[in-house]
Amino acid sequence: MPRITRAAAISLAAATLLTVTACSGGFSSESPTPITSESANKNPVTVLIGSSGDAETTSVKTAVAAWSAKSGIPAEVKVASDLTQQATQGFAGGKPDDLLYVSTDQFAGWAKNGSLEAYGDQLPNKSDFYPGLVSAFSYDGKFYCAPKDFSTLALVINTDMWSDAGLTDADVPTTWDQLEAVAKKLTKGKRVGLAFSPEIARVGVFMAQAGGGLLSADGKAQANAQPNVDALTYVQKLLKEGVAAFSSDLGAGWGGEAFGKKQAAMVIEGNWITGAMTSTYPSVKYTVAELPAGTQKGTLQFTNCWGIAADADNKAGALSLVEFLTTTEQQLTFAKDFGVMPSVKSAAEQYKTDNPTMVPFINGAEYAQNLPSMPGAADVLKDFNSQLTGLKYKDPKTILDSTQTNLQAIAG
């Protein structure tokens, strides 16, 4: 009897295993060949997006529907609640969506494991994209996917507080000393002059301005280089003087919240803040300026790309859709609909004319740095952020030294 039980259980398990294996099927080995017109078919193209809100969803759906009508290929836009997880499940299951938003955090991992198609060089307008964005989506020397749009950081100033403190347009800071001076003047009671969240994605601007950055020009780890130490020392000084504060220490989720709640007179934020100001804090009047320079001008840029899955059903269709979505006209429509900045240089002039307040953001494209994005970089940045929380009391060099160790392990 016990023998029967065991034998039965084992055979059953084996049977189940076989069934499931058979169901899941194998997956074809990837081919480095470009997407050709021979692979063109009329399979529907599915698009997975992580939307910032109704405005973005509607705009993307309208654009995709327009392409669908033109090309005759059915297409469907799906809005993910957790884009990374849904995309990951698609890749693992061998049935991914054809086209999806890919963040710089995820890009290298998915490029490395072969989930993404490297189609960048096939784009007719490939030289029109900002070079910084192209390098953000290049892995192993191959340009993988078209930058969808991008954002940079700038200094957002509350104009009422500014004039109350007796400051004029001429006082907009262009150096670190001036920034410190105006922050001091704008600090009043519980309100601080300057706020930003405790993360590399904000504090990193000071490193860029000091002539540093986590990676050197040739991609080597240089976290504890002197310019970076200077940058953190400067930030620490502002924090200790009480003229600057981390948004989290003010009880705000991000800089925009601290700014909207009038807890800070200036914040370092990206162009997405304008949307939040209009919808959530319409009464707060503000202006945007380029960030002050240290030894040089510096800011950070953030971007997403239109990734085509290597296992997509209709790669040719997806490629044609990407071409449509990244045209100058379509990008200007997206910019108008939900406040992003076009990723192509040819749209810049029109964009500046349409959005005069956003000029400082798009000007940043000329000198913006990318954050490290090789596989494993997200963990290193997360660890760095966790240490930045305590910057006020910690030695900047110690923080940067440990980040250097972590970064060297992945960047060399």
Partner 1 sequence: MATTPGLERTETSAPTPRSHHARLNRQQAGAGWLFVLPMVVVLGIFLFLPVVMAAWVSVADWTGRGAPWGSNVSFVGGTNYAQVLGGQGLAGRDFGTSIRNNLYYVILVVPLQTALSLTLAFLVNKRALKGKGFYRTAFYFPSVTSSVAITVLWLFLFSASGAINAFLGLFAITGPNWFQDPRGIIHLILGGGDGPAALQQPVLFGISTWEWLAGPSVAMCAFILMAIFTTSGTFMLLFLAALQAIGEETEEAAMVDGANAWQRFRYVPLPMLRPTVFTVLTLGTIGTWQVFDQIYTGTRGGPAKTTLTPAYLSYDAAFVSQDWGRGAAIAFVLFGIIVIFTIIQRLVLGTGGIDRTTRRELRSARLIAQASIQAKGGGDVQA
Binding footprint of partner 1 on the chain (CB under 8 A): 1, 4-5, 8-9, 12-13, 16-17, 19-21, 24-27, 29, 84-85, 88, 91-92, 94, 105-106, 109-110, 112-115, 248-251, 310-311, 375-376, 378-380, 382-383, 386-387, 389-390, 393, 406, 409
Looking at residue 52, its amino acid is S
> Helix or strand or coil: residue 47?
strand
In Å, what is the CA distance from 316 to each residue of 58, 117, 237?
Answer: 24, 11, 54
Both structure tokens of 27: 């997956």
Going by DSSP bridges, is the β-strand pair 244-246/264-270 parallel, antiparallel, or unpaired?
A: unpaired
Give the residue with the Cβ less far from partner 1, 111 or 179. 111
Residue with tokens 């954050």: 371
Which residues fall within 8 angstroms of residue 61, CB to CB, at 6 or more apart? 77
Give the residue with the Cβ less far from partner 1, 333 or 402. 402
Give the residue with the Cβ less far from partner 1, 5 or 31. 5
Both structure tokens of 302: 């953030």
The minimum distance between CB 109 and partner 1, in angstroms, equals 4
The minimum distance between CB 157 and partner 1, in angstroms, equals 24
Give the residue with the Cβ less far from partner 1, 65 or 409. 409
Looking at residue 12, its amino acid is L
The minimum distance between CB 84 and partner 1, in angstroms, equals 6
Give the residue with the Cβ less far from partner 1, 4 or 217. 4
Other CB atoms closer than 10 Å to residue 147's CB: what's the count?
25
Give the residue with the Cβ less far from partner 1, 34 or 251. 251
- CB contact at 8 A, 228 and 302: no
The minimum distance between CB 143 and partner 1, in angstroms, equals 20
* Residue 230 phi, psi (nearest 5): -60, -45
Give the residue with the Cβ less far from partner 1, 157 or 399. 399
The minimum distance between CB 126 and partner 1, in angstroms, equals 26
The minimum distance between CB 251 and partner 1, in angstroms, equals 3
The minimum distance between CB 24 and partner 1, in angstroms, equals 5
Q: Give CA–CA dist 67/314, Å, rounded.
A: 15
How many helices and strands, by DSSP H and E, does the chain display? Answer: 17, 12
- CB contact at 8 A, 410 and 380: yes
Q: Give CA–CA dist 281/353, Å, rounded.
A: 25
